Amino acid sequence: MVEKIKLNFLGTGSAIPTARRNHPAVLLRYKAESVLIDCGEGTQRQFRKAHLNPCKITKILISHWHGDHVLGLPGLLQTMMLNGYNKKLEIYGPKGTSAKVRQFFDLLGRKGQDLDVKVKEVSRGKIVDEGDFYIEVAEMDHDAPAVAYSFVVKEKMRLDKAKLKKMKVPNSPLVGELVKGKTVEIGGKKINGKKLMYKEDARKVVVVMDTRYNEGAVKLAKGADLLISEATYSKEEQEIADEYGHLSSVGAAKIAKKAKVKGLVLMHLSQRYEAIPKVILKEAKEVFKDVIIPEDLDEVEL
């Protein structure tokens, strides 16, 4: 059985939240991992509305330290602390992250010391490699130190249970030998484990928040199953997007097209498109066909 990657869009707005869209936050869940990417104001309330438990968070990935992406972090950390969070929390972010996290813990006072936290500043390359998944990071082009993240579930070999059933292989320790690709004898018949295996392809999710168009984003997103990207402005405001270090609908779609991703999710929409998100969607689809714009609390699986 393939373990799904679940993505919960807790906040899909940008600098100014609206009644429809909260500040940015995306929760990625895979097996026992629960990875929060950015933590805008109100994120902990979005957890409650989505019936998700913040005490299951294992890692927090910060794209950059502008307020709309991080002002929910002190409150979330306090809630985790008050609810008896007992894991080792890992927080990753660009240059300056260590100092910012210390400032946030100062807000929590002495009790904040009860949390076991590892903070690491990152800029490029593989930052996590745990069993069957890894996380990579690349620097982006914004007006503050900023990074984008890639979450990759590694390619793996699996035993074809349908073939096992057809061959009437009993559930025994010998199945474990078959999984290792070994040849075993069952009922006087030799069975080659390698012939019962099939390849489960790698899966890749990339999250690109505030940035201008850049080749680093294209490289990080190459071949992704899903690219989650900011699209703050319409193509009519491309000059403003460039000036303030953001992607337009078309800019995000160009990254998706050049990187040859399978699907594109747009978020971080400016409040000016509150009533007309289809404008952003239509513009992006002129460049890249497989695009969606989620609402807050939507869930996507792959």
Q: Output the average pLDDT for the chain.
A: 94
Mean pLDDT of 269-275: 91
Looking at 180, 198, 216, which one is the last position of a domain? 198
The mean pLDDT value for 15-19 works out to 96
Distances (CA, A) of 134 to 128, 151, 162, 213: 5, 6, 30, 25
In a domain, 55, yes or no: yes
> Do residues 144 and 83 share a domain?
yes
For 168-216, write each residue's pLDDT tens digit.
777 777 777 777 778 887 777 888 878 788 888 999 999 999 999 999 9
Segment 46-73 shows an average pLDDT of 98
Question: What kind and span of H or E run contains 44?
Answer: helix 43-49
264-279: average pLDDT: 93
Is the model's pTM score more than 0.75?
yes
From 198, 222, 252, the end of a domain falls on 198
**Does 302 fall in a domain?**
no
Residue 189 confidence (pLDDT): 81
- Number of structural domains the chain divides into: 2
Q: What is the mean pLDDT of residues 250-275?
A: 97
Mean pLDDT of 223-238: 98
Q: Let me know whether 147 and 161 are in one domain.
A: no
- Asked whether the beta carbons of 38 and 295 are under 8 A apart, the reply is no
Residue 191 domain boundaries: 157-198
Q: Are residues 189 and 205 in the same domain?
A: no
CATH number at residue 273: 3.60.15.10
Model pLDDT for residues 110-152, shown as the tens digit of each residue: 666 678 999 999 999 999 999 899 999 999 999 999 999 999 9
Q: Active-site residues: which are they?
A: 68
3-class DSSP assignment, residue 242: helix
pLDDT at res. 199: 86
Of the listed ranges 81-85, 147-151, 254-258, the one predicted with least confidence: 81-85
